[in-house]
């Protein structure tokens, strides 16, 4: 059975399945439903919430802030700084703005959303400053390929980078060739965004067939597979029933036979591939 938590390299415990918020906070008319959806997820144990200042131009963070009001202590909260804000001073400024929208005084994890014009040395200095001041409990990166992670290691001699959030799902397995093995050796987990490939996977006849044979939904199968890989999927949904289905992925045990069949339908990479990005 997939584990419900992992211990990061800095000793902090993190849930292995969460809720994403990409595309939330973009419509006033959806806000109430989005808040209710996140709260329902929290109620059934999905306490890891991932957001970013980019999502809805800060709107997603405001939605999250309302959803976690009165229950912040139960939440593992992740947000991200845009690369054009990721200077020494800009990172701190963006972070403080995120805190205001989220109505909290700390983050459990803060990520560089992707690489930009500022040096990793400068961005990491800002992230480490926030960590040492107790404003963030951990930090990491997002959309980093193997060569990016190797360079990042040069500016992180104490091993404080705790996670890399990248696109990873049954339909996009390129990181298994080099990136995942490199990170596993260093105890840096992968957080998988768009774990259902923005619902594209759910239209796969192979996935649907295997899920039907197991009497589970295609989404549950796709999420359970990611959990079996030791990664941290963060599906986004505003539908209460789907959120409940996502939560049950934690309780699904996939046999070696099923895993082999998934490899047949969704072949793993046979060579190094560029990092897939949405």
**Which residues are CB-contacts of 158 (< 8 A; sequence separation ≥ 6)?**
none
Q: Enter the DSSP assignment of 252.
A: P
Residue 101 CA, distance from chain mean position: 20
Q: Are 68 and 270 in contact (CB under 8 A)?
A: no
- Cα distances (angstroms) measured from residue 242 to each of 7, 18, 277: 27, 13, 25
| Integer Cα distance of 42 and 61 in angstroms | 16
Provide Rg for the chain, Cα atoms: 18
* Residue given tokens 């099923």 in the structure block: 258
Q: How far, in Å, CA of 233 to CA of 223, rounded?
A: 7
Is 113 annotated among the ligand-binding residues?
A: yes
Sheet of 190-193: strand order equals 18-20, 48-50, 76-81, 109-112, 139-142, 161-167, 190-193, 232-233
Contact 104, 77 (CB under 8 A): yes
**Catalytic site residue 197?**
no
The DSSP code sequence of 95-109 is HHHHHHHHT-S-BSE
Query: In the beta sheet, which residues pair with residue 172?
Result: 169
Annotated catalytic residue within 55, 110, 193, 197? 55
Pick out the residues of the known binding site for substrate: 113
Catalytic residues: 55
Pick out the residues of the known binding site: 113
């Amino acid at each position: 059975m997939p584990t419900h938590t992992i211990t990061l390299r800095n000793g902090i415990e993190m849930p292995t399945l969460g809720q994403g918020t990409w595309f939330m906070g973009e419509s006033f008319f959806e806000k109430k439903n989005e808040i209710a959806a996140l709260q329902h997820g929290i109620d059934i144990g999905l306490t890891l919430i991932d957001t970013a200042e980019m999502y809805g131009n800060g709107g997603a963070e405001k939605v999250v802030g309302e959803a976690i009001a009165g229950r912040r202590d139960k939440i593992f909260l992740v947000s991200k700084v845009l690369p054009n804000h990721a200077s020494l001073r800009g990172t701190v400024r963006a972070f403080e703005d995120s805190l205001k929208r989220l109505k909290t005084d700390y983050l459990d994890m803060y990520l560089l959303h992707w690489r930009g014009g500022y040096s990793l040395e400068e961005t990491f200095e800002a992230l480490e400053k926030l960590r040492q001041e107790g404003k963030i409990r951990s930090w990491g990166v997002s959309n980093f390929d193997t060569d990016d992670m190797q360079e990042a290691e040069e500016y992180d001699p104490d091993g404080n980078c705790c996670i890399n959030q990248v696109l990873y799902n049954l339909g996009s397995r390129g990181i298994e060739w080099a990136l995942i093995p490199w990170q596993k050796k260093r105890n840096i987990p992968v957080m998988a965004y768009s774990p259902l490939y923005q619902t594209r996977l759910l239209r796969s006849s192979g996935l649907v067939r295997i899920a039907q044979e197991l009497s589970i939904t295609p989404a549950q199968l796709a999420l359970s597979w990611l959990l079996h890989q030791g990664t941290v999927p963060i599906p986004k949904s505003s539908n209460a029933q789907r959120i409940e289905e996502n939560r049950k992925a934690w309780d699904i045990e996939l046999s070696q036979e099923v895993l082999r069949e998934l490899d047949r339908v969704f072949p793993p990479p046979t060579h190094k591939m560029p990092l897939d990005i949405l």
